[in-house]
């Protein structure tokens, strides 16, 4: 349960509170069987001060104004982690026949402009693929930057961090991913956290089917290429033999399941599901299977064998061919082998978008550098966001770059990138930091002075402290710490403290020693000594 003072909201007017249940945090919210194997309906009564709007992940709600009491009821069985509450200075606007957006008053116009009419389009596309949307309403609430992840698929009420509003393509993908969870994860749930891919891999596959239907195959292939790049980057850092790269991960006693949230869960899981779809010959045949799978198992929890048995029973001709035992691509190997996916999707339909990225990257990294040719070859302002971040990620992978290259890159692109969204800017600033490019360091300071979210602060602080700029990081932190949530302050303090004598005490009374929201960031930092940035693992639930 995250309690925020007014200063930690965008409006600075009223306090704010939200809960984050995934994976096993709701045991600190209410007594429950905190496992995805157990589902139940729930009701709740919440009393709140006048002027505070309360919302929950429920199908029905009423408000008794004279008593200040809200009553909620979820009529369908859900696992404990999908019970969610948010309360604060929130107002709403309808953006479709069964959708509304909730946000602080100062953010609502932006949220409306970005999403009006869009959610219904995505829901309709999803229904055409996977059957009726069973939850009634699909509303979205935008949370302050303290929200510890990007998005959470709470049924009827998706939670999304407000910081993502400025990055249109990331917003689209994040919302569609949560829409897909309405079928995969919420209706049919993984029975154990050791098989989280059953939720995330299937939701990622469904997300990409929806984006293909609504935005075309080229855009979907571009986004997939960007994510698979990140998967291979994470694999290179963690090692191909790392047990967390298995789809069926062994959860040791006492380990928080949130530690298992990584890109293998999403992207290796997606690759397996995509492989199954290719066995059918036509993705529409696989869509038909998934509709039958949802109908059979909705409101229950499943294990991998349920999915695979259903698949083979639905396609008896594949069962006769023993596709589950195909040499090198055995289902058992998909589930239990460490390392990269056994097969990856054909992304050639995205070549019109990915080829210019590859060409520009080669121009900037081929010796001798022809900066004039590189600079004149592409206008980044006309690129999609995913093209630009794919290009910058590859430059990051190659950093530190020769000084001449980083100098010319700054001359060509720095001013253009200043006006782009935060997903792009943070990557350029990480390039600046990893290359110790002092002329642009003031932009790093300016960025951190205006960011309060984990996803746009932790990566830069980790890079600053890995290199020679720790004193610069300390200076910025002491200037900005009061605008950060105590949990985030503590995480940054831990990053800054590595290799130093202890920092002066900072008030972290609101933080427990095992704050669940910090698990992913702390684990990554410890596992790689700062060599990996959170952009590689900061994924939607």
Catalytic residues: 178, 266
Neighbours of 417 (CB within 10 A): 23
The residue assigned the tokens 């000084």 is: 403
Residue 403 marked in a binding site: no
Tokens of 47: 């009393």
Length of the chain: 541
Residue 92 marked in a binding site: no
Distance from C-alpha of 507 to C-alpha of 268, rounded to nearest angstrom: 41
Quote the distance between the C-alpha of residue 2 and its chain's center. 19
Residue 200 marked in a binding site: yes
Q: Name the helix (H) or strand (E) containing 169.
A: helix 168-181
Q: How many CA atoms lie within 13 A of 272 on its CB side?
A: 32
Judge whether 137 and 156 are in contact, CB under 8 Å: yes
Pick from 523, 217, 535, 528: which is nearest to 394 by CA? 535
Q: Which distant-in-sequence residues (6+ apart) come within 8 Å of 452 by Cβ?
A: 8, 144, 145, 146, 483, 484, 485, 488
Distance from C-alpha of 147 to C-alpha of 151, rounded to nearest angstrom: 9
**CA dist list (Å): 16 to 330, 421, 436:** 49, 26, 39
Judge whether 118 and 21 are in contact, CB under 8 Å: no
Distance from C-alpha of 120 to C-alpha of 95, rounded to nearest angstrom: 8
Judge whether 146 and 197 are in contact, CB under 8 Å: no
Query: What residues are designated binding site for Zn(2+)?
Result: 177, 181, 200
């Amino acid at each position: 349960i995250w309690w925020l003072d007014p200063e930690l909201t965008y409006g600075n007017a009223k306090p704010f509170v939200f809960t984050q249940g995934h994976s096993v945090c709701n045991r600190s919210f209410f007594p429950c069987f905190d496992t995805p194997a157990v589902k139940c309906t729930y009701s709740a009564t919440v009393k709140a001060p006048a002027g505070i709007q309360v919302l929950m992940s429920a199908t029905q709600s009423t408000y008794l104004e004279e008593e200040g009491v809200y009553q909620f009821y979820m009529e369908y069985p859900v696992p404990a982690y999908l019970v969610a509450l948010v309360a604060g200075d929130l107002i709403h606007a309808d953006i479709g026949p069964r959708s509304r957006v909730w946000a602080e008053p100062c953010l609502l116009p932006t949220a409306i402009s970005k999403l009006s009419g869009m959610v219904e389009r995505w829901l309709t596309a999803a229904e055409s693929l996977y059957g009726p949307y069973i939850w009634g309403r699909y509303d979205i609430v935008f949370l302050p930057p303290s929200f510890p992840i990007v998005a959470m698929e709470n049924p009827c009420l998706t939670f999304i961090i407000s910081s993502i509003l400025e990055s249109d393509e990331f917003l689209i993908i994040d919302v569609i991913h949560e829409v897909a969870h309405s079928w995969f994860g919420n209706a049919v749930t993984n029975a154990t956290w050791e098989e989280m891919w059953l939720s995330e891999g299937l939701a990622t596959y469904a997300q990409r089917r929806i984006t293909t239907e609504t935005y075309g195959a080229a855009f979907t292939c571009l986004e997939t290429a960007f994510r698979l790049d990140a998967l291979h980057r994470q694999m290179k850092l963690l090692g191909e033999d790392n047990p967390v790269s298995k789809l069926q991960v062994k959860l040791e006693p006492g380990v928080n399941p949130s530690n298992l949230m990584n890109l293998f869960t999403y992207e290796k899981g997606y690759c397996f599901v995509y492989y199954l779809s290719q066995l059918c010959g036509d993705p529409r045949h696989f869509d038909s299977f998934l509709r039958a799978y949802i109908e059979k198992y909705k409101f229950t929890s499943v294990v991998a064998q349920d999915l695979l048995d259903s698949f083979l029973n639905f396609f008896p001709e594949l069962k006769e061919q023993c596709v589950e035992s195909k040499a090198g691509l055995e289902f058992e190997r998909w589930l239990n082998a460490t390392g990269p996916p056994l097969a990856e999707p054909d992304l050639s339909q995205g070549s019109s978008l990915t080829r210019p990225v590859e060409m520009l990257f080669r121009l900037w990294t081929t010796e001798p550098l022809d900066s004039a040719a590189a600079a004149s070859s592409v206008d980044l302002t006309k690129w999609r966001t995913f093209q630009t971040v794919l290009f910058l990620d590859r430059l990051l992978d190659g950093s530190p770059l020769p000084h001449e290259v980083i100098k010319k890159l700054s001359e060509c692109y720095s001013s253009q990138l200043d006006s782009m969204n935060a997903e792009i800017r943070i990557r350029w600033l990480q390039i600046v930091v990893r290359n110790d490019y002092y002329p642009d360091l003031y932009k790093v300071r300016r960025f951190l002075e205006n960011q309060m979210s984990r996803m746009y602060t932790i990566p830069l602080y980790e890079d600053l402290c890995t290199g020679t700029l720790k004193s610069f990081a300390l200076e910025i932190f002491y200037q900005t710490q009061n605008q950060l949530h105590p949990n985030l302050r503590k995480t940054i303090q831990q990053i800054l403290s590595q290799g130093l004598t202890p920092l002066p005490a900072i008030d972290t009374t609101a933080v427990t020693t095992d704050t669940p929201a910090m698990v992913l960031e702390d684990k990554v930092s410890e596992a790689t000594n700062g060599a990996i940035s959170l952009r590689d693992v900061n994924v939607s639930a």
